[in-house]
């Protein structure tokens, strides 16, 4: 049996990082490409219209505290990827999450998309040699992905239900190990209108229902990303996946409401409060 690294590691008492001034607060966003992708393509993380930065500004305005935001994200990240990072990335554990005041779980949308080949098979691509063969296979797969999805009727989902549920639960548990006093919110799986996925999304309703159940079980408030996305379908990036700036703003506002409901505006730093009470 593999060790549960997050549960097994001794965790220091949450406290502000050295040099953090009084009133400092930290927001951590664990996300996918929505955290750094605008309506015209990827943009630098400091772009103020990205939802993590809009959210940081809303939290600062509502609490009167100096919030920083740390974004840990990769394109296409799934809940499985987040759980692996929480287990093994010591920087994420002890320099990013430890003592955080608020955490957003911004993954899940790409777990429920249909794929042309099973995920374990695609995961072998980086190991194919020689390099030229690997590149040709990757190009062919990307070029014909929509055809493969439609040929299979979209039946193959990227992350199976049981795997999704296990990794979602473990991710929340891991976050609470390293940031026990943090307000936590998560996004429901989003919707797309993407040619890459053959314009199919047959697993989305099931993913929504499962994520809602997991949110209730873990007492994690969820932001209804599909409801917000439905209002902005005509403004999506040309890929049919990534958001307009207006959608970034709406997502940030919904997350701020969910997080502030757990962290009253006049509260002191979660990490500081936890440390002084011990």
Cα(247)–Cα(17) distance, integer angstroms: 33
Per-residue pLDDT for 131 more than 50? yes
Share of the chain above pLDDT 70, in %: 87
The pLDDT tens digits for 216-239 are 999 999 999 999 999 999 999 999
Domain 5-9+23-114+157-270: give its CATH code.
3.40.50.1110
* Helical axes 161-178 vs 79-88, angle rounded to 10°: 40
State the pLDDT at residue 21.
72
Domain ranges of the chain: 5-9+23-114+157-270
Q: Are 269 and 230 in contact (CB under 8 A)?
A: no
User: pLDDT at residue 106 above 60?
Assistant: yes
Q: DSSP assignment, residue 19?
A: T
Residues 222, 214: Cα–Cα separation, whole Å: 10
pLDDT range class, residue 10, cuts 50, 70, 90:
low
Nearest residue to 252 via CA among 241, 262, 239, 243: 243
CA distances from 28 to 52, 168, 185 (A): 9, 17, 11
Which tokens sit at 144?
């014909």
User: Taking 90 as the threshold, does the pLDDT of residue 23 lie above it?
Assistant: no
Question: What local confidence, expressed as pLDDT, does residue 22 receive?
Answer: 76
CA 89-36-173 angle, to 5 degrees, is 35
For position 219, what pLDDT does the model report? 98
What does the alpha-carbon distance between residue 30 and residue 82 come to, in Å, rounded to a whole number?
7
Phi, psi of 196 (to 5 degrees): -60, -35
- Kind and range of the H or E element at 272? helix 270-277
Q: What is the DSSP string of 34-91?
A: GGTEETTEE--TT-TTSHHHHHHHHHHHHH-SEEEEEEEE-TT--HHHHHHHHHH-HH
Kindly report, residue by residue over 143-191, the tens digit of the pLDDT.
999 999 999 999 999 999 999 999 999 999 999 999 999 999 999 999 9
The candidate with the shortest Cα–Cα distance to 109, out of 34, 29, 209, is: 34
Binned at pLDDT 50, 70 and 90, residue 277 comes out as very low
Predicted model pTM? 0.89
Phi, psi at 35, each rounded to 5°: -75, -20
How far is 264 from 255, CA to CA, in rounded Å?
Answer: 14
Instruction: Quote the mean pLDDT of the chain.
Output: 91
The mean per-residue pLDDT over the stretch 96-112 comes to 97
């Amino acid at each position: 049996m593999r060790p549960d690294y997050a549960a097994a590691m001794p965790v220091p008492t949450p406290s502000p990082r050295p040099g953090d001034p009084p009133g400092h607060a930290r927001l951590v966003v664990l996300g996918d490409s929505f955290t750094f992708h605008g309506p015209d393509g990827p943009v630098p993380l400091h772009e103020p219209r990205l939802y993590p930065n809009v959210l940081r500004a809303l939290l600062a305005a509502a609490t009167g505290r100096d919030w920083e935001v740390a974004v840990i994200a990769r394109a296409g990240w799934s809940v499985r990827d987040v759980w692996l990072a929480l287990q093994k990335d010591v920087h994420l554990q002890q320099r990013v999450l430890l003592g955080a005041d608020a955490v957003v779980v911004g993954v899940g949308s790409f777990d429920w998309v249909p794929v042309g080949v099973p995920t374990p098979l695609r995961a072998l691509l980086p190991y194919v040699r020689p390099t030229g063969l690997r590149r040709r296979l990757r190009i062919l797969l990307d070029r014909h992905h929509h055809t493969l999805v439609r040929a299979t009727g979209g039946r193959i989902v990227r992350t199976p239900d049981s795997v999704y549920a296990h990794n979602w639960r473990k991710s929340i548990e891991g976050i609470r190990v390293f940031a026990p006093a943090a307000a936590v919110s998560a996004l429901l799986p989003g919707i797309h209108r993407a040619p890459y996925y053959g314009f199919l999304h047959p697993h989305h309703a099931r993913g929504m229902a499962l994520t809602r159940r997991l949110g209730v079980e873990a007492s994690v408030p969820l932001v209804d990303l599909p409801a917000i996305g439905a209002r902005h379908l005509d403004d999506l990036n040309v890929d049919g996946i990534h958001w307009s700036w207006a959608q970034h703003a709406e997502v940030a506002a919904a997350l701020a409401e969910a997080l502030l409901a757990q962290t009253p505006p006049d509260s002191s730093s979660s990490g500081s409060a936890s440390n002084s009470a011990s």
